Amino acid sequence: MRELTCILCPSGCQLQISKSNGEWTVNGNLCPRGEVYAVDEMINPKRIVCSTIKTIYPAVPRLPVKTSQKIPKEDIFPVMKVINQVRLDHPVRRGEVIVAKVLGTGADIVATADLYYLLEEEGING
């Protein structure tokens, strides 16, 4: 049996997970999402990666981004490398895809803020 803390919400449930006859059993979860999380965590732990990308606008030098879905933990740093190489030279809307299907993970890198709005607040017309 293994113990882990669910990270899906602030409740932070203490989960116990064990395997018998190829079946996973999860205890301690307050909601069904905890069960899925625990099993994922045992087989293929995944995370959302949040970071920023560099823009060409001095007033807004960085734009926040995230992966559109969870990616395997071991892909975090390779994906960061891709994110670090992007140079954004045009305004984007919140949710707009900046890198599609990054490193074959199936996740896109999407903007989490509206660069049009940020530039407008800086008095710059995108």
Looking at residues 63 to 92 of the shown chain, list those that interact with other proteins (rule: CB under 8 A).
64, 66, 73, 76-77, 80, 83-86
**Looking at beta carbons only, is 21 or 76 nearer to other proteins?**
76
**Rounded least distance, CB 104 to other proteins, Å:** 20
* Minimum distance of other proteins from residue 21's CB (angstroms): 28
The residue within the footprint of other proteins, chosen from 27, 72, 78, 112 (CB under 8 A), is 112
Separation of alpha carbons 76 and 80, rounded Å: 6
Q: Which is nearer to other proteins, 18 or 122 (by Cβ)?
A: 122
State yes or no: residue 50 binds other proteins (CB under 8 A).
yes
Query: Measured from the CB atom, is 48 or 100 closer to other proteins?
Result: 48
Query: What phi and psi values does residue 55 have, to the nearest 5 degrees?
Result: -115, 175
44 makes contact with other proteins (CB under 8 A): no
